Structure 1
Amino acid sequence: MRQIYLDYNATTPVAPSVFEAMRPLLTEHFGNPSSLHAFGAAAHQIVEEARERVAELLGARSDEIYFTSGGTESNNLAIAGALMSETGFRGHLITSAIEHPAVSEPAAWLQRMGCSLTVLPTDSLGRVNPADVKAALRPDTVLVTIMHANNEIGTVQPIQEISQICREADVMLHTDAAQSLGKIRAQVDELGVDMLTLAGHKIYAPKGIGALYVRRGTQLHPFMRGAGHEQGLRPGTENVASIAGLAQSARLAMRSVEENTTRLASLTTRLWDTLREGVRGLSLNGPPTDRLPNTLSVNFPHVWGQQLLDQAAEVCASTGSACHSGSSTLSATLRAIGLDPETARGTIRLSLGWNTSEEEIDRAASLLIHAWESLNRAT
């Protein structure tokens, strides 16, 4: 049985050229970038060149890029670092009800530590209203953190409008763009953000590597203690091989983002049209436009999503984001858009990638339609 992988929002395979960029750094050029000898100097140069490549992807300066262990650490550094002071945590934080747990959990923890927290609602398509952001601002607001694109339903937020509101109020803005890069354009100056999160394994780099963009002049406090790596913001010896892999994935994403956007949108539309023809009552989560081009969150009526995937075992997809798998509760995203539990139980997220083919799309649609018909006949 040949598997059809349609869970690229959960993770991506390491691209061949990314693996090749990493290989020599694991066995031959293995120096510590902080060492002063030749091995260390070579490693240091690789790290700094990688910083330049990631900066190019984001339209940033290289000294605004800080390497981390992934998207979760980047989000924690941005959020906790913004509200941290020498005497503890302080201030008011604004976020949305549709955030990834890597944002919502640090926000909830900061509230327990004494910070004020406002969680903004979304509309039924998963969009945050910029007017709600403006209305929530207070004199003690330190940070607004709103994701760029949602991992479950693909909604792209109006970050440019939100950034204008934050700039006028002199409030920092952070966005989690882990799902955006490689699929849609995400340039920091165009978005107007002060901080932006990147996760390597979402763009065909290995797991365990990420980056945080921090605009020059933005005040962050490190929440880990150690040596002075990453300009003193993130201590710990740099993961040189994975950083080199991230740089190569940034090159790939930068070269092909427009082509990928068009191709992925065409394949996703093909999949949606085929499923809609074969499944009476199928509904879409999220907006029909202003969405990630690769993401399709749909509700199959009268069945459980996991039963459907068990029946169509060749299709590797998700009943929500991977971070919610194994949970029988409604995800925060589906709750935020007002999806009722009866409908949500049939939700499947299908997310396409650079390697997805038309043949796989057609085969997956056929398998899912057949599985839905079989389950309905059995009830």
Structure 2
Amino acid sequence: MAPYEAEDSQGPGRRKLARYAVPVAVVGVAAVTIGLVPALADSGDPDLPKITAQELIEKIAASDTEQLFGTVKIHTDLGLPSLGGALPGLGGQDKGSASADPRKKLTELATGTHTLRIAADGEGRQKLSVLDDASEYSVIHNGADVWAYDSASDEAYHAKDAQGAGERAKKRPAGVPATPKQLTDELLEAAGPTTSFRVDGTARIAGRDAYRLQIKPRQSGSTVGAVTVSVDAKTGTPLKFTLTPASGGAAVVDAGFTKVDFGRPAASAFDFKPSKGTKVTEAGELPGKDREKAGRAPRGAEDLDGLKVLGKGWTSVAELKLPGDSGAAGLATGSAPGGMPADAQHFLDSLGSKVTGKFGSGTVYSTRLVNVLLTEDGKVYAGAVTKDALVKAADAG
């Protein structure tokens, strides 16, 4: 049986699909949004029973999908220029880190188009594989073990899942979402009276009938135009997630399956044993801060000292103070830290613009979705808001 073929399941009652994510290493301030490109819709929209937006949201919340496997494509368009691997943690490799370390490798998904295979079997077993023309990179969670393998370099990374899948399921980690459902859950969790919902027809996604839920900000000042989620009519599982910017143009994030099966993946899909000659890096062998964080899922806000959130809803802005040795002062004044490669300097110059306000002066670095303000005194303000809204929040903060 091939690794992603289905097998019959007669197991106990199903639990919700575990929200497994792998960490993203970020140097300085970088906003990274990962998404999955949709499958081409089948010809014609299905004729499904009428449903209200509230009923559709309740259907998503009640979805108890535990097993699935399928193929997705990733396309992310933040409007960033090519980095050429110059910035560590954003496609480049830090000295002393393993090439298979997921906290470094998966940042490559921040731009461009990629093909993935995913498989999940409850809280204890998940697999995500990034497929290139001549290589494959996989992250496998199987019980107490987390493996990552890079076939291009024949290197593997291994960590023990000390926290446990059950604890992770109780407290959602921040990181790289593995499925459109994770993206949708996070969005609905953050939504409130600042959000409007409506059912926007039906669609065929990866051969399955689906409802389309449109989600839009009610507030002005957000860079988000709308989010459309295509929800499987039978299971309530999101099949496609598309985020379009308020400025128009192509989607910033598209999330969807090209193929999907809700059967149980074969157990062999989660088996991994390094071959003879494969270089294996254990989490405990990583240097410094990498070793401190190895083997646990990222916790999100509590990992950032002094983080505050200004405002609410779609126009909320994160404020934090960077360490004095981070080089933030140089970036805020338009000069990169000494020794930065030319293409990295070009990247920063293309994004930055000088601003002033009650907060003082600094530089705003912009993408199609996220704006980040670095002040000369080392403070950072970031959010999916316009430059004017960001400066206003910094003045109020």
Superposition TM-score, scaled by structure 2 size = 0.24
Structure number having the greater helix percentage: 1
Structure number having the greater strand percentage: 2
